[in-house]
Structure formats: structure tokens, C-alpha cells
Amino acid sequence: MPHTDRVGPTKAELAAAYGSTIPDVVAPGLDVLFCGINPGLLSAATGHHFARPGNRFWPALHLSGFTPVQLRPDQQRELLDHGLGITNMVARATARAEELSADELRAGGAVLTDLVRGVRPKALAVVGLGAYRTAFGQPKAGVGARPERIGDTLVWVLPNPSGLNAHWQLPELAAEFARLRSAVS
């Protein structure tokens, strides 16, 4: 077998991941269920949420005190040990979240609501303001706690941690994650 220094999926593997899904990391009674917009191609190809190296989800999670060390995407199952989980608003993978239609986001919001009613986390944290606004019909929603709940579950909106979101730098993202952590604890 020839030696290779390749550490990630090939272009063909990424292309093949288009439209595929990845499993949720979820269990009943979580402290926080984090909800991304949808898996990117790297996440779908690897099976790991928030897998793109420039994504700041994992660093923000650690810096905010949710995890004692910064986990890697391939350690996502360890989130359950900390009372945390991950799902997505829309299950299908795309190269960019902008490829999703408003109808898909609204349908994803309904599926997410059912999931939250079933697993009953203390808080649902939607990671992506625009996706939240569309999925839940709240065009003026802002970052932070929402007045509406899903059953007894607190609903919280966090900024998108994608490296493409230049409006939020890591220290500010971590501070928002920390506000959520304080509200839940």
C-alpha cells in the first residue's frame, strides 16, 4: 500500500457527500441541544458535526466553559458526558447553507420542535440567527434567549460559528456561549 500524507476526504469524497446526512448526537434530558443549520460537505464526508477546521464551534464551546478541554469533531460523542448534544435544522449536506430553501428551513424547524419535545433538553441553542429566523417565522429575532419555549425547553439563538461569519470573532462567540451556559446552570 503506498504511503499518503492525505488527512481529509478527497474532492470526489466531498462531492459524494452532497445531500447525505449524519447522525445526531442526542440523548434524553440534555442540558443543551445545539442545533446547526445543516451539515457541510466535510461534516457529511467524515460523519462529524462542525468538522471544517475554520469553524469555531469547538473552540467557543471550550472557552465558554461547556467542556474542560477543546474537543475535536471526531470526539463529538463525548459531548453526551457533559450533558450536551448536536443536531441540525436541515439534515441534508450542502456546500453552503445558502443552498437551503426557506421551505426546507421551516420544515426543519418543525422536525426540530418534535425532537426537542421528545428528548426534552433544558435548552435548545440554535447556532445560526438567519436559519432560526426563517425556520421559526421570527424575522426580527436576535442573538440570546427567546421569549418562546418548546415545552419546558429554553430556546436560545447563538451566532453562526462558521469562519465565514466575520461579524463574530472567537472571543465574542465564546462570550455568547458562556451567557447560555450561565442561563442553563
The size of the chain, in residues, is 185
Using DSSP, state whether 126 is helix, strand or coil: strand
Q: How confident is the model at residue 167 (pLDDT cuts 50, 70, 90)?
A: confident
Q: How confident is the model at residue 10 (pLDDT cuts 50, 70, 90)?
A: confident
The three three-digit cell numbers of residue 89, written as one number = 435544522
Whether the pLDDT of residue 1 is over 50: the answer is no
pLDDT in tens, 70-125: 999 999 999 999 999 999 999 998 988 888 999 999 999 999 999 999 999 999 99
pLDDT in tens, 13-56: 776 667 778 999 999 999 999 999 999 888 988 999 999 888 89
Q: φ and ψ at 73, to 5 degrees?
A: -55, -35
CB 121 within 8 Å of CB 153: yes
Q: What is the pLDDT of residue 2?
A: 46
Whether the pLDDT of residue 8 is over 90: the answer is no
Q: Write down all domains in the chain, each with its CATH number in brackets.
A: 21-184 (3.40.470.10)
Q: How confident is the model at residue 163 (pLDDT cuts 50, 70, 90)?
A: low
Q: What is the pLDDT of residue 9?
A: 79
Whole-angstrom CA distances from 170 to 53, 62, 161, 174, 175 are 14, 11, 8, 6, 9
The three three-digit cell numbers of residue 147, written as one number = 421569549
CB 53 within 8 Å of CB 164: no
Q: What is the pLDDT of residue 166?
A: 67
According to DSSP, the β-strands at 144-150 and 153-158 are: antiparallel
Whether the pLDDT of residue 6 is over 60: the answer is no
Whole-structure pTM value: 0.91
CB 139 within 8 Å of CB 133: yes
Count other C-beta atoms under 10 Å from residue 87's C-beta.
22
